[in-house]
Amino acid sequence: MHSGSAKPIAFFAAWVVLVAIAYGYFFLMPQQWFDSSLQQPPVLSGQDQQEGLRQLLQKQFPQLTQGKPWFVRMKQSGCQCERFVERYHRSFSELSKADALQVATLELSGDELNAEQKNLLQKLVPATPAVVLFDSAGALSYFGPYHQDGVCNSENSFLEPVLDAIKQGRRLSVLNTLVYGCFCSTQTTTTANG
């Protein structure tokens, strides 16, 4: 009789543990605005700022060539939110090879950036995970997060419509900074490291 009542208790205890793990994984993460200053228009709306970012990326990644779209992921190694875009980014990177889309990843908290570059990126990129996408003519097509919240996939990614437009040869410029979700501010990282 005792062993029969132990099974429901064990099942309930396992359920509580799983719910606690899921809660910690999905809800105890840094929730904030992508751009906590909510500045409109965003800093990157200026041509000079866009060109400055493009030049910085060209210096950082000389393999990025003119005439092909650039997709640059911006990340911070200590950001808990990176886990929600990692799988999408890996699958996206594989698919992009067929589309002649050049993909690079810039580690904002890394040692490969000097103090001047970190300062510029801190001004232009308010949080990570972030993406900047330039079309084949070198114009900024998208800047902002991969998605709003949860685990990123092709269904909830902000990038899919922009990438479709680029494939069709349409020009557009989307500066998507008014998004609330799991983001890590660059203000803390770049100030602490540089």
- What pLDDT was estimated at residue 140? 92
Closest CA to 84 of 182, 178, 184: 182
Q: Which two structure tokens, joined as six digits, stand for 92?
A: 């996206």
Q: Is the residue at 24 inside a domain?
A: no
For position 192, what pLDDT does the model report? 35
Residue 17: per-residue pLDDT: 78
Confirm whether 53 is domain-assigned.
yes
Chunk the chain into consecutive blocks of 10 residues (it has 194) and report each block's average pLDDT, rounded to whole numbers.
69 76 59 82 87 92 89 89 81 67 87 87 90 91 82 72 84 88 75 36
pLDDT of residue 193: 36
Q: For position 51, what pLDDT does the model report?
A: 92
In a domain, 96, yes or no: yes
Residue type, 155: E
Q: Give a yes or no: residue 56 inside a domain.
A: yes
CA distance 153 to 150: 9
Distance between CA 52 and CA 82 in Å, rounded? 25
What is the reported pLDDT for 134? 92
CA–CA dist 94, 97 (Å, integer): 6
First-to-last C-alpha distance (Å) of the chain: 66
Q: Is residue 1 part of a domain?
A: no
Task: Return the biggest CA–CA distance within the chain.
Answer: 77
Query: Residue 129 corresponds to which amino acid?
Result: P
Domain assignment present for 7: no
In a domain, 109, yes or no: yes
Range of the domain at 185: 29-193
Residue 71 lies in a domain: yes
If one counts the domains in the chain, the total is 1
